[in-house]
Amino acid sequence: MSRGILVIGAGPAGLAATEAALDAGARVTLVDGADLTGGQYWRHPPAERGDAREARGHHGWTRYLALHERVEGDPRCDVRLGAQVWAIEPDPVSPCGLAVHLATGRVDAVGARMERLRPDALVLATGAHDRTLPFPGWQLPGVFTGGAAQALAKGERVRVGDRVVIAGAGPFLLPVAVSVAGTGARVLAVAEASAVGRIARGWSARPWRLLRTASKAGELLGYVGAFLRHRIPYRTGTVVIAAHGTDRVEAVTLARLDADWRPRPGTERRIAVDAVCVTHDFTPRLELAIAAGCTVDTRRFVVVDDRQETTVPGVYAAGEITGIGGVDLALAEGAIAGAAAAGAEPDRAAVRRRAAFTGFAARIPAAHGIRPGWRDWLDDDTLVCRCEEVGVGRLRATAAETDGAGLRSLKLTTRAGLGACQGRVCGRTVEELLLDASGADRFPDLAGTDRRPIAVPQRLGDLAAIVREADDREQADLEPHDPPETSGKDT
């Protein structure tokens, strides 16, 4: 009997893992909470709202179509979309030692189909969220994360505003600006926080190694062309330090930064906008890996070995949850993880590509990584946790007053990170500000904000249905059974 692999996440890493596991003869169940495959990179509208020119808006669209057709067309592959993995827990009966809880149905609709899967091996490819540092006014309507603006542009063809500023750090700002401009918005500026010298040093170290990732140069040229076509100004060493407005954003203040991202006094410039999109970094989606018992390193990525196996035997990880590296690295890691999970030797070309793109990925934090000076653009009233409306002043005061308290107590006291998003947006920032205020480098309870035993909220009725069904099964087992009927036929 071939191995049954469960792949969670149908982005580039999960699709590549599924293809490799199928190639190795395994049966695969591929699940994703979204309604379409493709993940963040190949996000697109459904076919009925699609555009014949879809390929123009994506890099590697042909590769996506080939992966999509492969996984959808293989009878050994069961693709489940609109299927959220909401919990993972130890299960001695499961071949991989874990039970994976799945809820399938329309988001927020009643009556999700609840299932428990027990695969032979598991591949986690759950990707990342974008991380936005807080600034005064970031709670106003019209302030988007770059990822949200990108998802609306690519998945819905929605324009977030007419006059838009894109800000933050990293190469991700380039596709966001091009997608937003592609919806007809006027992009007034792309403000990159890192200074030009740091960007140049980060990207030009050991330049010969860039030859191994030459496809990225083509991608960059594509963005340069689009910036020229849409007349988008690109400002380095500059960032949005405040958003202004009463009912929604009406203007932003841009300021020049020093090398540590401290605003330089006297460089502030106010621009009228009706939308601003801000992303400073990415945060991996770790809750399922943590629930599965996988070790996470000090940089907060899932630890894997050469075969992408985590510290939990039978559990593999690929893509942004093992390190932020972009689509090519996600594809290579996925291909290695899928083959290994199916018990096969990973493809050598994928191993070479992983090495090349790991080196490429290391340039991103060197050139664009968050610097500590961002704290200088906060004031006491700046909200950190937007869900629970907790400001910087309150966080700092509580940490100082309750010297030595663990993160759990600090969260319960301030409510920061306990709102609807469960700290996905503010978690890292809450941790950093609390640690600053208490002068420690970690919390006494060694807690972090990535642990979410319920990874995706579920309706109480759907959870109750699981318990009812289990009770019914138990009751049926207790009742005396009639002897099986003998029909004389083989069954």
d(CA 130, CA 287): 15
The one among 19, 20, 41, 314 contacting ligand FAD by CB under 6 A: 41
Stretch that binds ligand FAD, among 127-135, 189-197, 241-249, 393-401 (CB under 6 A): 127-135
Q: Which is nearer to ligand FAD, 282 or 443 (CB)?
A: 282
Report the residue number, 34 or 395, with the smaller CB distance to ligand FAD. 34
Q: Are 330 and 319 in contact (CB under 8 A)?
A: yes
| Binding of ligand FAD by 319 (CB under 6 A) | yes
With CB under 6 A as the contact rule, the residue among 4, 12, 170, 427 that binds ligand FAD is 12
- Which residues are CB-neighbours of 188 under 8 A, at least 6 positions away? 163, 164, 165, 233, 271, 273
Is 80 a residue that touches ligand FAD (CB under 6 A)?
A: no
| Footprint (CB under 6 A) of ligand FAD, residues 450-469 | 455-456
The yes or no reply on residue 253 touching ligand FAD (CB under 6 A) is no
Query: The tokens of 491 are what?
Result: 């069954």
Q: Which CB, 167 or 455, lies closer to ligand FAD?
A: 455
**417 part of the interface to ligand FAD, by CB under 6 A:** no
Of 4, 7, 14, 276, the residue at the interface with ligand FAD (CB under 6 A) is 14
Both tokens of 27, joined, read 């049966």
How many residues of this chain interact with ligand FAD, rule: CB under 6 A? 37
Residue 317 CB contacts under 8 Å (≥ 6 apart), including other chains: 123, 124, 125, 289, 294, 302, 304, 308, 310, 337
Which residues contact residue 160 at a Cβ distance below 8 angstroms, ignoring those fewer than 6 apart? 142, 144, 149, 152, 153, 180, 183, 185, 275, 277
Is 155 one of the binding residues for ligand FAD (CB under 6 A)? no
The smaller minimum CB distance to ligand FAD, of residues 125 and 249, is found at: 125
* Nearest residue (CB) to ligand FAD, 27 versus 452: 452
**Contacting residue, 5, 10, 180, 273, with ligand FAD by CB under 6 A:** 10
Sole window of 65-73, 120-128, 241-249, 309-317 interacting with ligand FAD (rule: CB under 6 A): 120-128
**19: contact with ligand FAD by CB under 6 A:** no
Q: Which stretch binds ligand FAD (CB under 6 A): 64-72, 123-131, 222-230, 437-445?
A: 123-131
Q: Does 8 bind ligand FAD (CB under 6 A)?
A: yes
**From the list 320, 388, 431, 450, which residue makes contact with ligand FAD (rule: CB under 6 A)?**
320
- Nearest approach in angstroms of CB 136 to ligand FAD is 24
Near ligand FAD by CB under 6 A: residue from 133, 290, 330, 399: 330
Which of 7, 22, 33, 449 is close enough to bind ligand FAD by CB under 6 A?
33
Distance of CA 261 to the CA centre of its chain: 24
Going by DSSP bridges, is the β-strand pair 163-168/275-279 parallel, antiparallel, or unpaired?
A: parallel
Q: Which stretch binds ligand FAD (CB under 6 A): 30-38, 48-56, 187-195, 399-407?
A: 30-38
Q: Which is nearer to ligand FAD, 2 or 458 (CB)?
A: 458
Q: Which of 11, 82, 263, 391 binds ligand FAD (CB under 6 A)?
A: 11
How distant, in Å, are the alpha carbons of 85, 118, 184 from that of 34?
Answer: 11, 22, 26
Under the criterion CB under 6 A, does residue 151 sit at the interface with ligand FAD?
yes
437-468 burial code (b ≥16 CB/10 A, e <16): bbeeeebeeebbbbebeebbebeeebbeeeee
- d(C-alpha 26, C-alpha 3), whole Å: 5
Restricted to residues 173-202, the positions that interact with ligand FAD (CB under 6 A) are 175
- How far is the first Cα of the chain from the last one, in angstroms, to the nearest whole number? 21
Residues 265-284 that bind ligand FAD (CB under 6 A): 282
From 5, 30, 85, 195, residue interacting with ligand FAD (rule: CB under 6 A): 85
- C-alpha 159/C-alpha 423 separation (Å) is 27
Binding residues for ligand FAD, rule: CB under 6 A, are 8-14, 31-34, 39-41, 84-85, 125-130, 147, 150-151, 172, 175, 282, 285, 288, 319-320, 326-327, 330, 455-456
